[in-house]
Chains A and B, each alone.
Chain A
């Protein structure tokens, strides 16, 4: 019967199932069977939703000035949580809930920028280095080593000194420090995939190097990189807010979690919530993203899938 149908007909007849969809379904099943991963996912989504809303529809959640904190000149002393201020206020009478919602957006956006840029640069360099090998590999790896050895704090100070204080500059210095990690990781993955027999089979089939890179290597390198990215989000948000906490943020009143935490620092003995709450917000994000990343790793690892 299959010989009589045309190709499209045959495909429709056989495609009572779409293999890619089925794979996706199995992935979901594995991911959702892991309660901590699901919790991580939910929390992370909450943060992303906040970011999205504050970026595009801030009035929807009652935020009128997304790029600034509202200073209350009449009552600049930090007050504990109360019905008007559900999370209390901090230095300058800034309402914590309002401030946090604004700051999350800034932090998440910058973190995504840093990690994705670093990953992209590192991925490209690592792939090229691992795939072509030889002198290019050696040179790129030495360059990576040099960047690896730079402590991010010192670099941040140096760049800020030259280019001035702003969150963008902080992000830039972190990107510079972060890409070597991905370069090394991507190179390792590329090398190990290059050894696999199906690459030899592709060469024997006459496939050009270019195609081998795109058809065979990248699809196999990307999944572990995605996992690494999701795990890194947690680390980077911590580093970023640490830098702003110790004072690298511009003196202007830009909402950011690290900066927010530092605001409450002077009052930590009388108003601990001013420090603890913003700190917790950072920590919870890092934790959630980590749990989610772990869950993703389970999904990606082929051994766990086919049991």
Chain B
């Protein structure tokens, strides 16, 4: 029975935005309901594009920032995790409360929390600002040991030299300032600092993104060696999927604050299920020139996290989105307007305006009672492939001078188990999951 080093449930982090003294209720939903588990000695890779929330998630898991809601359990035996998850499903909050009391990371305070910090740490992306320019290397590396009470000042000094050796630096480096070191050397110091208290869990946030290719290879191999030697679980965050694949056992892909696919690395990379994963992976540059290239082309951009799309966050850009994916009246409105007032305007002379009644209903006002609805249905059939939101139209009924457009109601996708260890957050796989249960 192995332990789970970290188990997070329905983790959310909303950042308040603007407003005078928080009177405005707008928030950036950076992480919006993430479940994640990492076993002992396991490396979980976290990939995604800018703004998907991966860095925020990494910081949440070691409680560097406080979550808005959700639970994080630390160092839990497998049986207890099963109990906890069962209790969650059965809504047995008494039981979950009991387990939380013992294992939760979030209810620890002050010196208790500080003692726990010796078991987790983080290595940052930018080697140039993650080291205090006015501190000597030896003090930088010793800091976690002293702050968590892991070692006394004298013991710490000794350990510093051993750590320098471990990361491939000679002892003189202990007495240098960060600005005297190169990027690769600084990252080694950051790594030494990260493992100084022999943590069980280390978050690596883009540790090699600022480094040259040859230095990156050295650092990655070093990380692997250290992980093996000291049995550390890693959360490896990067936007470089090739690197993540090299380093991880399991991979999770994030989009707009949610995990959309998670599984063992080869399944996720070579047999991606989620449409976003497919697009992302097809776009990875590979050092194989002149190969046959099949790209999935995506329109649009990463969504605004203050008002993210409803339902599946990816639906506005998804090439295979269908009617239940999350369409709402405002998305359909712009496409209807485009058809009626622009592209096919000549067929719809006499339509005054289109308005939204609620999230799933629109009303089109006409000046006369011409049978626009038939025409509209025809055109919608034609344009469905290009203007995706139209697939969500359930019915078009014309009553004299008013056409009522009704949409299907969307379903919020959760993580569906596809096989063995792969989970996908996509309605296309909902049935698979139901079969499995």
Asked if chains A and B are in direct contact (CB within 8 A), the reply is yes
Contact between chains at B133 and A302 (CB < 8 Å): yes
Interface positions of A (Cβ within 8 A of B): 2, 7, 10, 14-15, 17, 19, 23, 196-198, 200-208, 211, 215-216, 219-220, 302, 305-306
Contact of A206 among B124, B133, B144, B157 (CB under 8 A): B144
> Which residues of chain B come closer than 8 Å to A204, judged between CB atoms?
62, 64, 117, 120-122, 144
Known: A14-B175, A200-B64, A220-B132. 12 other contacts (CB 8 A): A7-B158, A14-B171, A19-B177, A197-B129, A197-B130, A198-B131, A206-B118, A206-B147, A207-B147, A216-B135, A219-B135, A305-B179
Q: Is residue B226 within 8 Å, beta carbon to beta carbon, of the partner chain?
A: no
Contact between chains at A7 and B157 (CB < 8 Å): yes
Q: Is residue B435 within 8 Å, beta carbon to beta carbon, of the partner chain?
A: no
B84-134 residues at the A interface, CB under 8 angstroms: 113-114, 117-118, 120-122, 124, 126, 129-134
A-B pairs with beta carbons under 8 A, tally: 83
B307-359 residues at the A interface, CB under 8 angstroms: none
Taking the closest CB of chain A, its distance from the CB of B332, in whole angstroms, is 42
Contact between chains at B175 and A17 (CB < 8 Å): yes
Contact between chains at A198 and B129 (CB < 8 Å): yes
By size class, the interface of chain B is 35 or more
Contact between chains at A211 and B132 (CB < 8 Å): no
5 A-B contacts, Cβ less than 8 Å apart?
A15-B175, A23-B177, A197-B124, A200-B130, A216-B132
> Which residues of chain A come closer than 8 Å to B117, judged between CB atoms?
204-206
Contact between chains at A205 and B121 (CB < 8 Å): yes
Taking the closest CB of chain B, its distance from the CB of A29, in whole angstroms, is 15
> Which residues of chain A come closer than 8 Å to B374, judged between CB atoms?
none
B131-175 residues at the A interface, CB under 8 angstroms: 131-136, 143-144, 147-148, 154, 157-158, 161, 171-172, 174-175
> Which residues of chain B come closer than 8 Å to A216, judged between CB atoms?
132, 135
Q: Is residue B176 within 8 Å, beta carbon to beta carbon, of the partner chain?
A: yes
CA distance A10 to B64 in the complex (A): 36
Taking the closest CB of chain B, its distance from the CB of A300, in whole angstroms, is 11
Taking the closest CB of chain A, its distance from the CB of B311, in whole angstroms, is 34
Contact between chains at B148 and A206 (CB < 8 Å): yes
Taking the closest CB of chain A, its distance from the CB of B13, in whole angstroms, is 15
Interface class of chain A by DSSP: helix
> Which residues of chain A come closer than 8 Å to B114, judged between CB atoms?
206, 208
Interface positions of B (Cβ within 8 A of A): 59, 62, 64, 113-114, 117-118, 120-122, 124, 126, 129-136, 143-144, 147-148, 154, 157-158, 161, 171-172, 174-177, 179, 190, 193
CA distance A23 to B178 in the complex (A): 12
CA distance A216 to B133 in the complex (A): 9
* Least CB separation from B150: chain A residue: A206
Taking the closest CB of chain B, its distance from the CB of A119, in whole angstroms, is 19
Taking the closest CB of chain B, its distance from the CB of A193, in whole angstroms, is 9
Taking the closest CB of chain A, its distance from the CB of B130, in whole angstroms, is 4
Contact between chains at A19 and B175 (CB < 8 Å): yes
Using A197-B126, A200-B124 as known contacts, say yes or no to A205 and B143 having CB atoms under 8 A apart.
yes
* Least CB separation from B139: chain A residue: A215
CA distance A17 to B62 in the complex (A): 38
Contact between chains at B129 and A2 (CB < 8 Å): no
CA distance A14 to B164 in the complex (A): 14
* Least CB separation from B117: chain A residue: A206
> Which residues of chain A come closer than 8 Å to B177, judged between CB atoms?
19, 23
Closest 9 CB pairs of A and B: A206-B117, A205-B144, A197-B130, A206-B147, A207-B147, A206-B148, A206-B114, A197-B129, A219-B134
> Which residues of chain A come closer than 8 Å to B131, judged between CB atoms?
198, 201
* Least CB separation from B110: chain A residue: A208
> Which residues of chain B come closer than 8 Å to A15, judged between CB atoms?
175
Contact of A14 among B62, B122, B172 (CB under 8 A): B172
> Which residues of chain A come closer than 8 Å to B158, judged between CB atoms?
7
CA distance A306 to B179 in the complex (A): 7
CA distance A163 to B16 in the complex (A): 49
Interface centre among B120, B136, B143, by most chain A C-beta atoms within 10 angstroms, is: B143
Contact between chains at A196 and B161 (CB < 8 Å): no
CA distance A19 to B174 in the complex (A): 10
Contact between chains at A201 and B124 (CB < 8 Å): yes
Taking the closest CB of chain A, its distance from the CB of B355, in whole angstroms, is 44
CA distance A220 to B132 in the complex (A): 9
CA distance A202 to B117 in the complex (A): 11
Interface centre among A15, A203, A204, A302, by most chain B C-beta atoms within 10 angstroms, is: A204
Using A197-B124, A305-B179 as known contacts, say yes or no to A203 and B133 having CB atoms under 8 A apart.
no
> Which residues of chain A come closer than 8 Å to B120, judged between CB atoms?
204
Contact between chains at A14 and B174 (CB < 8 Å): yes
